Amino acid sequence: MSRQPKHLAVAGATGAVGVEILKCLEQRDFPVSELTLLASARSAGKTVSFRGKEVVIKELTPDSFAGVDIALFSAGGGISKAFAPHAVAAGAVVVDNSSAFRMDESVPLVVPEINPEDAQTHPGIIANPNCTTIVTLMALNPLHRAFGGVRSVIASSYQAVSGSGAQGIVELEGQVNAIAKGEPLPERKVYSRQIAFNVIPQVDVFLENGYTKEEMKMHHEGRKILHAPDLKASVTCVRVPVYRSHSVAVTAVFNEKPTVEAARAAIAAAPGVHVIDDPAADIPLYPTPLDSTDGDDCLVGRLREDLVLENALTFWVVGDQVRKGAALNAVQIAELL
């Protein structure tokens, strides 16, 4: 990476992902010559600490990007569609965390450990994939390369409430506290069902085919990132009462017969992902969401040959969806630039 300092802008600087982006920039010593923090009018004037200095948040406007080299967007699809073109027109390269541009054929969809070369050709915008897609593909990609390509994926995700934003955590906490005190549950504002001590098999809105938008993202985004246009993915996304880090149970079918030993070796050799898998230990080893929370890497366990499908492996992968699933991946793309 060139160490020439860059003028960075962060749009959505006060949100969970925006805050995590700033943390990643500090921890990875990203060369920042100037930092512009952007948010809504109600946040303008507040300050955020970055490298020991207080940075004043400015209102996001079409004129916010003069002199900016790289603009990291994490303010939602509508904001990205409205303001990313202004950033590009001002000469910035946009790294966008929303779904606004992911399936645009001219916009690369990048996970730096998987397809970094795609980031080198862009129209001024590079898209960050969906968090569940990132976590899954971090484990799947080494196997895809080791066993002649992946043909199909059947997966179930167990997604933390922070994936719904800060209010998802607030709703879970409020319900748990009310139940513990024997009080009536507070009004639901985020989820259609009680989330405390429950799981909800719906993340995002339903489509005509019976899948949700979230479930179809892995199908479409996986094809684009892996350069595997024939990949098929059948996914069920479930919201679970966990604060942070998503988990995914995956069964993947490959063109060549996989073995557990070769799969462990392939994952162990890949960047950004680790194997934690020893069912014979006194306390069986496998990763849980808490093991990955606040960590950069995705963790894989429960590796085994599938008993139903030929040339198939089944495994479990966890990753911090706020960090690797969003903020860290965006900063890594900025590092590629």
Which residues are identified as catalytic?
131, 246
- Under 8 Å CB-to-CB from 96, ≥6 apart: which residues? 73, 80, 84, 125, 126, 127, 128
- CA-closest candidate to residue 136, choices 243, 264, 202, 225: 225
- CA-closest candidate to residue 88, choices 9, 4, 203: 9
Residue 54 pairs in a beta bridge with 49
Provide φ and ψ at 274, rounded to 5°: -135, 150
- Under 8 Å CB-to-CB from 234, ≥6 apart: which residues? 152, 153, 154, 155, 219
Task: Answer for the pair 9, 64: CB distance below 8 angstroms, yes or no.
Answer: yes
- Alpha-carbon distance of 165 to 120, in angstroms, equals 31
- Alpha-carbon distance of 257 to 151, in angstroms, equals 12
HSE, side-chain direction, 13 A CA sphere, residue 44: 8
Provide φ and ψ at 84, rounded to 5°: -60, -40
